[in-house]
Amino acid sequence: MTRDTTMTKIMNKLRWPLGGALLTGALFIGLSGFAQQAQSSWWGDDHEDEYYAKNTGNPTHLEECGACHIAYPAQLLPKAAWQEILSNLDNHFGEDASIDTGIRSELTNFLTNNASDSNNAGKFRKFTRGIDIRNPPIQITELKYFERKHDEINDQKMVINNPDVGSFSQCQACHEKAEQGIFDEDTVNIPNFGRWDD
């Protein structure tokens, strides 16, 4: 038997195991990339967080809404909820928050153009899951997504009876970057209880 014939036989014997190993490796790399992309799409990445930090408010939104409470990012509620809120500012959760018609119009445009059911919602589109988009709750704390993300929180101990929080509506009390529109778990520091990701 010649050397070329011997090499051919060895190569023929190795072809299937070697091909299988290469295919398995390629599939593993491909699935790892897919899983990483899916996780990035679901939770967002640093680039997305930078985008939302820039897109959370305009000066009028920050000034008018931020005068009494955090200027909640537009992406947290769908269009119909923002429209309902802005059409009833004379009874805004028990307070008179009436504003000039021009300012209300500007806020309506900004908030609905960036709402959770708008083209600008990005990862915050998740906030529309499980709700009637035509008749949504007007409180962020009543959204199914919000409830699911906070289901491990002892609301009495960590929120309501916590003197430094008091209500789930005080996002900025626990979410260090709430005013920038960033609500990732690694930015959560519950007063009197510590960091959530520890």
Contact 65, 95 (CB under 8 A): no
Distance CA 117, CA 133 (A): 8
pLDDT band at 32 (very low <50, low <70, confident <90, very high): low
Would you say residue 60 has pLDDT above 80?
yes
Question: pTM, whole model, 2 decimals?
Answer: 0.70
Domain positions in the chain are: 3-43, 48-195
What is the Cα–Cα distance from 185 to 165, expressed in whole angstroms?
Answer: 17
3-state DSSP assignment of residue 190: strand
Mean pLDDT of the chain: 82
- Cβ distance 52 to 43 under 8 Å? no
Region class of 44: left (phi > 0), else alpha (psi between -120 and 50), else beta: left
At 39, the pLDDT band (50, 70, 90 cuts) reads very low
Q: Work out the average pLDDT over 169-180.
A: 91
**CA-based nearest residue to 144, from 123, 124, 130, 132:** 130
If one compares 14 and 114, the residue with the highest pLDDT of the two is 114
Among the listed residues 76, 78, 91, 83, the one whose alpha carbon sits nearest the alpha carbon of residue 108? 83
pLDDT at residue 95, as a whole number: 92
Helix (H) or strand (E) holding 106: helix 101-113
For the stretch 116-166, pLDDT in tens is: 999 988 888 988 999 999 999 999 999 999 999 999 999 999 999 999 999
